[in-house]
Structure 1
Amino acid sequence: MSISTDEVPSEREKRFQLPTLLQRRTGPMTRELVLHPGEHGLGMTHDSMSADTTTTATCGYCATGCGLRLHLKDGEAVGLTPETNYPVNLGMACPKGWEALRVLDSAERATQPLLRDSGGELTPITWDDALTSFCEGMKSVQAKHGAESVAFLSTGQIACEEMAFLGALARFGMGIRHCDGNTRQCMATAVTAYKESFGFDAPPYTYDDFEQSDCMVFIGANPCIGHPIMWERVLRNPNNPEIIVIDPRRTETAAAATQHLQLQPKNDLPLLYAIANELIRRDYVDHDFVQNHTHGFESLRDHVSTFELESVCQNAGLSVDAVSQAIESIGRGNAVSLWWTMGVNQSYQGTRTAQAIINIALLTGNIGRPGTGANSITGQCNAMGSRLWSNTTNLFGHHSFESDADRAKVAEALDIPVERIPTTTSWKYNRIIEGIRNGEIKGLWVVATNPAHSWIDQGDVRELFDQLDFLVVQDMYQTTETCAHADLILPSAGWGEKEGTFINSERRYGLLKKVRHAPGQALADFQIFRGIAHRWGLGDMFAEWTSPEAAFRIMQRASRNQPSDITGIDGYEQIDRCGGIQWPWSQEQADGGFEPEQQRRLFADGHFFHDDQRARLIVDDIDLMPEPADEDFPIVLLTGRGTVSQWHTQTRTRQSPLLRSLYPNQPYIEMNPRDGDALGIDHGDLVRVQSRRGEAEATACLTHSVQSGQAFMPMHYDCTNRLTLSHFDPHSGQPSYKDCAVRIVPVLSSDHV
């Protein structure tokens, strides 16, 4: 679903009516739902504007990074429309973007600090008392259990400058060793794959590649729902591209594709190895590129030679002819791009699957040119910022804690003693959770994330949170599932109520602007960190961190000579003027005296970030699904994004009546009609979904979009992760949300009284 400002109605519509949903043909491949400006309740058409002025800011939902035109009256945003000149979205926005302001006006907002009293009730306190409670509580835990007994869990939802401040404050100031972000749940696999294959976490593409390809392969990705503006860019492609989707479900994207390889779950890695084998066998290899710019071809060739097409197709439930057609499309394409997202990342073998995708791009020379690339589509609005600046499992600016040179460089950039920087990295997210179980972690600081909803095997993590001595939650809403376990809640400002930068999927820094006052006593996360630094006794150490833009200057110093160098950016004003700036943009590049080009991709020169400048071709053995279906639990449960109008744990999207009207408010589960018949379940029946960890009730949706023996539940509902299994990719530590064994039984009316 997308909305274009090109479709302004001829007569002014009522501004607060529910949306009219229209279907229109957008091309030979698909239909889409379209909302017109003026029908959405909050945005304004240009002829109705009486605001003083407008400004453009980056949307704060997904990592597409759309530009939104904010209409101001007396300095406050009163409405918004998509920015027509922004190079990302070109005048389009999904429903979440249109409602970005509305969700700020909610009775669920955290508007004052809350402390749990001796009776177990959360009671209002002043900020002075809140900062004292935070520092005394965390220091007490450290005094009793050791400095490393406190951890934090961060996010891809706050600005780069806030992530940088949090990581530096906690790790270099407070002595917190173990910290991670919720980007571990979405992007860790892509990070690990890129680092090992390219030598740096370096998504190579730019969005213009959606419009330049003649063959596009989507693996475990459903951009029509997950990233609708990216899908709009696909629909603008003038090359009549082949669109190949590899996915167990017949998703909206698969339905629009020219080829759909509807494989059995977790057969993607052997399938990709078989495709690589056939590309080699049929001589679709770019031999010059492989010889001059890669390492490991012989090992890859020997490894994939055992993956014969016929046997792999039999195991995957695919026809040889269908896969052969896809291989020919890839091999014969002049500009082939391969795209993946959570269907690959959230897997126990996700890193190697991502690298199998990268291998295909490298083998065929489809990288560094327009319309090519092995391209990870990021999830959260600032997941890339978290990857570079959060100071969790990578040192500030994507350096290494283990490198003496990197530690010295970061210490100089931050003007702190090098002894303050740890020499070892942090535990990953799942190890921090295990640390709570083992009594190693007794204090936890959760910032702008909701793990009591989103973490795998949800019932387990909720019990563990109650074992902590001190749990602090810093969030813009006080009603999240994680806040229910908190000892202290710190109210924070949201998107539109503070400043900073986000980095989108194509490496573009975009501006977050303050166009609203946060409600009550809520503060920007940056200001909360400043308050904690002073109350902790670290004011002198962080004296330079006076504002987000001052922090950006520190980040620039630390980025020098990195692949992600941003020393050439001349501050926030240039980012704003240019419609965002992709990294790298170094001082050396800027010395040419011209503005950065809007669409820049990496590796055009064939040079990668390993010391020998060659990319690595990486292969590995296949792992079996940890919990396959069996007699007791005969259905494989898949989870993922539900609709365009839902987002993550629905903390924000449920605040919008309009968004709630566009998706089912109650949990549902998609089942194949044959399974429904076998189980005595009709469409619309209430069912109980049971796994070895918990159970959930949902409405049965009988559909051929899922295959027999499989089911699908959206991740957004708070019951879904009661079912999921705690198993993880061994390289990235990312949870495997996409597969576990369940049984589904009808709920009789008497059972539900």
Structure 2
Amino acid sequence: GSLAKFGMGMLHGDSNTRQCMASAVTAYEQAFGFDAPPYCYDDLEQSDVLFLIGSNLSIAHPILWSRIRKSRQLRRLVVVDPRRTETAMAADEHVALVPKSDLELFYGIARVLLERDWIDRAFIDAHTRDFDAFARHVRAFSLERVAARTGISPARIERLAEWIHAGERVSFWWTMGVNQSHQGVRTAQAIINVALMTGNIGRPGTGPNSITGQCNAMGSRLFSNTTSLLGGHKFTDYQHREKVARHLEIPLESIPTQPSWPYHRILEGIVRGEIKALWIVGTNPAHSWIHQVFFHDVVDRLEFLVVQDMYSTTETARLAHLFLPAAGWGEKEGTVINSERRVGRVRRVRKPPGEALADITIFQRIAEAWGCGRLFRYWRSPDAVFRLLASLTKGRPCDLTGITSYDQLGTAGGIQWPFPANATVQNRPPTTGRRLFEDGQFYHADGRARFVFDAPREPLEIRTERFPYRLLTGRGSAAQWHTQTRTAKSSVLRQMAPTAVYVEMHPEDAYREGLQPGQTVIVESARGRLRARLAVTPTVPRGSLFIPMHYSETNRLTHAAFDPVSHQPSYKDCAVRLRPLEPWDGM
């Protein structure tokens, strides 16, 4: 991002955050004043009541799941998910709500907490703003209204509120089931609001906690220099631009004064002819982007497509005019920042194969060839880059200036931000968890968190007589990962999950359609179709289908709907139909 924007004059660039975490990022920024997941992984073992919302944690995050399973503190595990997933099967309570009704559910829970006076008034008054307006807002969400929308009985909604009230250390954890939604930001903020109004934040075993799936989740959010300026700064803030320019010793005018378009608007810019070339680094949108047919049409319009990746065999790499072979994990040095804000060191254990180079080497050579190498004269090694960017965070919520050396990261087993160069933090060992908001101080100018809320929005695509089923997508197996760029190459992992596309359907729906388990079927949306083998299972709600996201065909079906605030795609809700395979389907 720094090479593209500071050196090559590009304005628009986006990161994988858009597909994975953008809704949580925006929710945190608006509520807390900064993108700041407040938790430590230790909180998974210190909660006595734990909610998992839109998260099949046992499959998607098996190591974190193991920490929950070994907890001696946990009294109640609640899973909120339309499907009876592997995680839901292990829960004390599975809340199988109607897909995309979680916003109403948490507004309904908030109303019960308010009416029963099960709130932490002292915390609300001392550390938050806009609670009274939120309280007026949720009064419209009666038990009857919420039950009708969610399919969850009034008694069960009251019971959920009662468990939150009875818990001493209640935590709420969510993943893509919340983020990848047409109203993901407001849903995440509804969860945050329930945590704030009950004082479940800043203490061990508490918090509204977004879990991300990638090892560098926070790293890309803070330092990709795409939608935000390096180190959590803003392109639109003159003082931020001036600080970054002075610190990096680059011309102030080389820093854009406006943020980038999000992913989908970049694609729209290609359609309008405003963008002629695209450089894709370490991601596979020809497989993973929503409404895949549209993406392929857009890429065909480019004059020049560059793909930089470990593998030349990805769906996206096969479309490239120029492929840049890049080193993978274990073949390069660097750092990552995970979802508990822990900075960790990555060490090289072998040389990259063939012509592959570390990403930093590719960027350095392009900078020299472009004629902007002098701007990056201090970016000579991963160690130098880390020290340069860490010093840039001074005074920011993500302050890393207390990390005195690159080697310290390795010996400490990673260090969480904030870790500023002051006595308060330095007196605590680096391995100690750094839970945010222990003092009740947030990152808004007045130090208070915000209650943010809005009216629920209807999905942009609803079921019809022609397309009567709702398609859900997500992780299918612990043996599959994202677009299977690497996992599909393992003969062991290939034996642990079906290699051919399958679709899950409720037994009553299959009976009504006259379909048999194992039958080959066609699943169609208004955008495309795929062939799949039918799996009949009661784990899928009636009226819904489920297809794992790992198959390259899945996003032929998905609808290009986006959260209006975060611009994150809503992968998990589109209208489809299902029918038997006919003889002419292969023609």
State TM-score, norm by structure 1.
0.77
In the other structure, the counterpart of 1:656 is: 490
- Please show how residues 204-353 of structure 1 align to structure 2 within 5 Å: 204-353=38-187
| Mapping for residues 588-667 of structure 1, pairs under 5 Å | 588-589=422-423, 592=426, 595-667=429-501
- Residue identity opposite 1:517 in structure 2: K
Alignment-derived partner of residue 46 in structure 1:
none
- Which ranges of structure 2 fall in alignment gaps of 5 or more residues? none
Structure 1 residues 288 and 449 mapped into 2: Cα distance closer, same or farther (>3 Å)? same
Deviation at 1:315, TM superposition (A): 2.1
Aligned 1:117-516 pairs, distance under 5 A: 167-516=1-350
Amino acid at match of 2:228: N
Q: 1:703 matched to which residue of 2? A: 537
Counterpart of 2:231 in 1: which secondary structure? coil
Question: Does residue 1:674 correspond to 2:508, yes or no?
Answer: yes
CA shift for structure 1 position 401: 0.8
Contact kept in structure 1, 2:47 and 2:74, CA below 8 Å: no
Q: Is the 8 A contact 1:568 1:590 kept in 2?
A: no
- Residue 550 (structure 1) aligned to one of 371, 384, 393: 384
Q: Which amino acid aligns with 1:187?
A: M
| SS of corresponding position for 1:386 | helix
Is this contact kept in 2: 1:497–1:518, CA < 8 A?
yes
Q: What SS does the aligned partner of 1:605 have?
A: coil
Counterparts of 1:603 and 1:381 in 2: how far apart (Å)?
Answer: 24
What is the deviation of 1:752?
4.8
Check conservation: 2:179, 2:568, Cα contact below 8 A: yes
C-alpha distance in 1, partners of 2:149/2:264? 31
The whole-number CA distance in structure 1 between the counterparts of 2:426 and 2:338 is 25
The SS at the match of 2:530 is strand
Q: Cα offset for 1:495?
A: 0.6
* Deviation at residue 316 of structure 1 after TM alignment: 1.3
CA distance in 2 between partners of 1:397 and 1:347 (Å): 27
Deviations 1:291-340, CA, capped at 9 Å, x for gaps: 00000011000000000012211221112222221111011110000011
Say if 2:54 and 2:176, in contact at 8 Å, map to a contact too: yes
Which residue of 560, 573, 582 maps to 2:407? 573
User: Structure 1 residues 542 and 752, CA, compared in 2 at 3 Å: closer, same or farther?
Assistant: same
Instruction: Report how far residue 524 of structure 1 moved.
Output: 0.5
Secondary structure at the aligned position of 1:181 is classed as coil
Distance 1:583 1:589, change over 3 A: farther
TM-score normalised by length of structure 2: 0.98
Counterpart AA for 2:504: E
Question: Alpha-carbon deviation of 1:595?
Answer: 3.0
CA distance in 1, matches of 2:87, 2:423: 38
Task: Tell me what 2:366 maps to.
Answer: 532
Go from structure 1 to structure 2 and tell me whether the alpha carbon gap of 1:593 and 1:265 turns closer, same or farther (over 3 Å shift): closer
Give the Å deviation of 1:594. Answer: 5.5
- Give the length in aligned residue pairs: 587
Q: How many Å separate the matches in 2 of 1:571 and 1:353? A: 40
Q: Give the 3-state SS of the residue equivalent to 1:180 in structure 2.
A: coil
- Corresponding residue SS for 1:688: strand
Structure 1 counterpart of 2:167, one-letter code: G
* Aligned-partner SS, 1:540: helix
Task: Supply the distance in 1 between the matched residues of 2:499 and 2:17 (Cα, whole angstroms).
Answer: 26
Per-residue deviation, 1:572: 2.2
Contact 1:186–1:345 (8 Å) recurs in 2: yes
Residue type of the alignment partner of 2:246: E
8 Å CA contact 1:245–1:257 kept in 2: the answer is: yes
Pick closer, same or farther for the CA change 1:416–1:662 going to 2, 3 Å.
same
Contact 1:680 1:746 in 2 (8 A): no
Pick from 543, 560, 575: which aligns with 1:726? 560
Deviation at 1:751, TM superposition (A): 4.7
The aligned residue for residue 64 of structure 1 is: none
Inter-partner Cα distance in structure 2 for 1:610 and 1:678: 55
- Deviation at 1:241? 2.1
- Structure 1 residues 650 and 592 mapped into 2: Cα distance closer, same or farther (>3 Å)? closer
Q: Give the direction of change, closer, same or farther, for the CA distance of 1:261–1:591 in structure 2 (3 Å limit).
A: closer
2-structure distance, mates of 1:315, 1:209: 32
Identical residues among aligned pairs (%): 55
The equivalent of 1:163 in structure 2 is: none
Query: How far apart are residue 182 of structure 1 and its match?
Result: 1.7
> Could you tell me how far apart the structure 1 residues matched to 2:273 and 2:544 are?
38
Secondary structure (helix, strand or coil) at the match of 1:587 reads coil
* 2:464 partner letter: D
CA contact (8 A) 2:482 2:550 kept: yes
Residue type at the aligned position of 2:18:
R
- CA separation in 1, counterparts of 2:472 and 2:394? 43
Give the Cα separation in 1 of the matches to 2:541 and 2:524.
19
- 1:401 aligned partner, one-letter code: F
Amino acid paired to 2:164: I
Q: CA, structure 1 residues 351+214, in 2 after alignment: closer, same or farther (shift >3 Å)?
A: same
Q: Tell me the CA shift for residue 600 of structure 1.
A: 1.8
Partner residue, 2:352? 518
Unaligned stretches of 5+ in structure 1? 1-166
Distance 2:472 2:376 in 1: 45
> Matched residue of 2:98: which SS?
coil
Q: CA deviation at 1:571?
A: 2.2
Query: What letter corresponds to residue 100 of structure 2 in structure 1?
Result: K
Partner of 1:50: none
3-state secondary structure, aligned to 2:376:
coil
> Which amino acid is the alignment partner of residue 387 of structure 2?
R
Instruction: Say if 1:475 and 1:491, in contact at 8 Å, map to a contact too.
Output: yes
Q: Indicate the residue corresponding to 1:105 in structure 2.
A: none
Instruction: Tell me which residue corresponds to 1:687.
Output: 521
Q: Contact conserved, 1:569 with 1:590, CA < 8 A, in 2?
A: no
